[in-house]
Amino acid sequence: MALNSTRELDELKQKLLRMAAHAETTVRLAIQALVDRDDNLALRVREEEAVLDQFEVQLDEQSIHLLTQGPAPADLRFIAVGMKISHDLERVGDEATTIAGRARALNQEPLLQPRVDIPRMANLALQMLTDAIASFLDRDPGLARAVIPRDKEVDALNKHLNRELANGMVERPATITRALHLIVISKSLERIADHATNIAEEVVYLCEGEDIRHPSERSSEPPPVPATGPHPE
């Protein structure tokens, strides 16, 4: 790969790293807005999300430009996976916006404090995201593999919180509106963990050429893709 492209590839990595840091900050801001019941913080989340959107647009452009330079196969794979990852990070920003919107709605109502610790759940999801991005930049499949099982922990917290809130609704119908907001927030956190898991799975694929994204259907023989009819109108 020409020296120019090596520099461009390095810039691409740096930008992806900045985008990941920004995604994390945006989620932290949304959770802070929830915990502090602070509308101003919640309003700032949308601005931060717009920055993430711009990151994705710029990364796509740079990636496509780099692909036109005829990169080495390993770099090509890295760039292609990077494009998928920036899409995941942009979606993390969308989830932060959802959380912030629900935080603002909750600020209009008396506090409803669930027993499940939402900031702790956010920390778990964000640590997964941090590790997944680090595993990508360092091409470290071991670190990526360690991220994947942690998704179950966040899923379990989400289910636990759902049950708690649903039961609370039945016992105290006055909590219904607030409980619905908290259910949406919890689901957003669970989706952030899903994005981290996606990224980690992509990294294993990148490093080991093994696709573990969809392990449920793995078998010694990959199942054939059945031919379906023409796309219905």
Per CB under 8 A, residues contacting a copy of itself are 15, 17-18, 20-22, 24-25, 50-51, 53-58, 60, 63-64, 67-68, 70, 73, 76-77, 80, 83-84, 87, 130, 133-134, 162, 166, 169-170, 173, 176-177, 180, 183, 205, 211, 213-214, 216-217, 222-223, 225-233
DSSP state of 115: S
Residue placing its CB nearer to a copy of itself in the complex, 141 or 205: 205
Tokens of 53: 């959107």
Q: Closest approach of Cβ 84 to a copy of itself, in Å?
A: 6
Residue placing its CB nearer to a copy of itself in the complex, 160 or 213: 213
Residue placing its CB nearer to a copy of itself in the complex, 53 or 117: 53
At residue 192, what is the residue type?
Answer: I
Residue placing its CB nearer to a copy of itself in the complex, 107 or 130: 130
Q: Are 45 and 102 in contact (CB under 8 A)?
A: no
DSSP state of 116: S
Q: Are 149 and 215 in contact (CB under 8 A)?
A: no
CA distance 178 to 100: 14
Residue placing its CB nearer to a copy of itself in the complex, 115 or 224: 224
CA distance 89 to 26: 11
Q: Closest approach of Cβ 143 to a copy of itself, in Å?
A: 13
Q: Closest approach of Cβ 214 to a copy of itself, in Å?
A: 3
Residue placing its CB nearer to a copy of itself in the complex, 115 or 214: 214
Q: Closest approach of Cβ 156 to a copy of itself, in Å?
A: 16
Q: Are 15 and 62 in contact (CB under 8 A)?
A: yes
Counting Cβ atoms within 10 Å, is residue 52 exposed (0-12), middle (13-18) or buried (19+)?
buried
Q: Closest approach of Cβ 222 to a copy of itself, in Å?
A: 7
Residue that the structure tokens 């080991």 belong to: 208
Angle (nearest 5°) at CA 142 between 57 and 12: 20
Q: Closest approach of Cβ 121 to a copy of itself, in Å?
A: 18
